């Protein structure tokens, strides 16, 4: 039997934080809501509809809401906004909702990736408190964190500075990158370093030890742009949960969309710098290929080198 829902996503405006449902479907459907996945009220829908369209949702703008979309007798799945509505940030995303090769889904509201947190507004902080965000991992180098310290909600009990130098977008880092004759080649090399340089590998081993601690979530890991260091971390997490390589790549490439507002003006002024401030398939692919050359498979790298407990990861983060 064909599925009635082809695609659905929750969108929030980053300034007003107003929510809407974008849906591509046929037939009738209903949407239920709650402040947590466990507390979704499955008796009274917040919205009913038929077919496709964009529908405004009359829900709180100050806190995160989780939804269950239901169609027919057997179609139901949890939704929330993947792109978090940060007025003072650009590349904040929930890793929830991705479907694994086994057909399971990554839990919403547990694992988040982001860019710098220094410019978050009070409304952004309030929203993050509603997750409630508990742990923050910062991949930035000391110079980056000193110039742009994190603004954190009071719900954060654990902060972990795990400096990874490749991917540094401080002024000095940018200037050093611009001296490279082939910046695309440099960015590919940087992604290879992220998974082969002993200091980077050690950092990601520590990262997974934190993520595998059940007390850590909801957890946000971030760097300056949320695309290179945080991008590789997100890719490794999704691989560990059984998400296929093309889906991992699509998630990586979406940074290009979310960072356009942040860097487009700079790129227009300095077009040669574009590759430093965007993502390209060949960048992450260079890292993936390096893993396969060195370890045979990504899973070997995760389990043998990064000491990832795959069973534990999937128990913690898959529905």
pLDDT score for 169: 60
Q: Is the pLDDT of residue 308 over 70?
A: yes
Task: Give the single-character DSSP code of 79.
Answer: E
Distance CA 306, CA 302 (A): 5
Same domain, 75 and 89: no
Which of 46, 81, 116 is at the close of a domain? 81
pLDDT in tens, 6-44: 999 999 999 999 999 999 999 999 999 999 999 999 999
Tell me the residue length of the chain. Answer: 319
- Does residue 86 share a domain with residue 10? no
Q: Do 3 and 137 fall into the same domain? A: no
pLDDT tens column, 104-152 = 999 999 999 999 999 999 999 999 999 999 999 999 999 899 999 999 9
Residues 42-91: tens digit of each pLDDT: 999 999 999 999 999 999 999 999 999 999 888 999 999 999 999 999 99
What CATH number has the domain bearing residue 14? 2.60.40
Cis peptide, bond prior to residue 44, ω within 30 of zero: no
Q: Report the chain's terminal Cα–Cα distance, integer Å.
A: 23
How far apart CA 298 and CA 137 sit, in angstroms, is 23
Query: Which of 28, 62, 81 is the endpoint of a domain?
Result: 81
CATH number of the domain within which 110 lies? 3.90.190.10
Q: What is the C-alpha separation between 222 and 149, in angstroms, rounded?
A: 12
Whether residues 141 and 95 share a domain: the answer is yes
Tell me the pTM. Answer: 0.94
Read off the pLDDT of each residue in 171-191 and give the average, rounded to a whole number. Answer: 75
Q: Last residue of a domain, which of 63, 81, 99?
A: 81
Query: What total number of domains does the chain contain?
Result: 2
pLDDT at residue number 148: 94
The CA-based dihedral angle spanning residues 234, 121, 213, 169, taken in that order and rounded to the nearest 10 degrees: 40
For residues 89 and 76, membership in a common domain is answered with: no
**Distance separating alpha carbons of residues 307 and 101, to the nearest angstrom:** 22
Q: Domain limits at 131? A: 82-317
Tokens of 180: 């490279």
Q: Do 4 and 69 belong together in one domain?
A: yes
Angle between helices 198-211 and 183-194 (to 10 degrees): 60
Same domain, 74 and 88: no
My answer on whether 72 and 91 are in the same domain is no
| Pairing mode, strands 219-222 and 135-138 | parallel
Find the radius of gyration of the CA atoms of the chain: 20
Q: Give the pLDDT confidence score for residue 166 in this predicted structure.
A: 79
Q: Are residues 34 and 166 in the same domain?
A: no
């Amino acid at each position: 039997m064909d599925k009635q829902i082809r695609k659905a996503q929750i969108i929030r405006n980053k300034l007003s934080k107003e929510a809407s449902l974008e849906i591509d479907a046929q037939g009738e459907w209903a949407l239920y809501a709650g402040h947590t996945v466990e507390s979704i009220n499955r008796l009274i829908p917040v919205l009913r509809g038929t077919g496709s369209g964009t529908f405004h949702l009359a829900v709180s703008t100050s806190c995160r809401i989780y939804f269950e979309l239901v169609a027919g007798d057997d179609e139901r799945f949890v939704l929330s906004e993947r792109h978090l509505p940060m007025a003072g940030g650009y590349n904040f995303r929930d890793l929830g909702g991705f479907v694994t090769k086994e057909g399971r889904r990554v839990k919403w509201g547990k694992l988040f990736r982001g860019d710098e947190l220094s410019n978050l507004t009070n409304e952004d902080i309030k929203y993050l408190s509603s997750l409630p965000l508990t742990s923050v991992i910062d991949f930035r180098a000391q110079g980056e964190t000193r110039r742009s310290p994190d603004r954190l909600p009071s719900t954060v009990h654990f902060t972990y500075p795990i400096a990874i130098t490749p991917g540094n977008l401080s002024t000095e880092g940018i200037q050093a990158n611009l001296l490279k004759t082939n910046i695309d080649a440099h960015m590919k090399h940087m992604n290879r370093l992220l998974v082969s340089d002993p200091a980077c590998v050690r950092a990601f081993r520590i990262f997974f030890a934190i993520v595998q601690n059940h007390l850590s979530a909801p957890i946000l890991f971030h760097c300056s742009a949320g695309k290179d260091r945080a991008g590789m971390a997100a890719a490794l997490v999704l691989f560990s949960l059984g998400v296929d390589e093309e889906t991992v790549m699509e998630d990586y490439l979406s940074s290009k969309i979310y960072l356009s507002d942040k860097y487009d003006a700079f790129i227009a002024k300095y077009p040669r710098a574009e590759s430093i401030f965007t993502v390209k398939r060949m960048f992450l692919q260079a890292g993936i290929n390096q893993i396969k050359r060195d370890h045979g498979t990504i899973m070997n790298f995760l389990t043998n080198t990064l000491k990832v407990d795959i069973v534990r990861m999937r128990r913690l983060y898959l529905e």
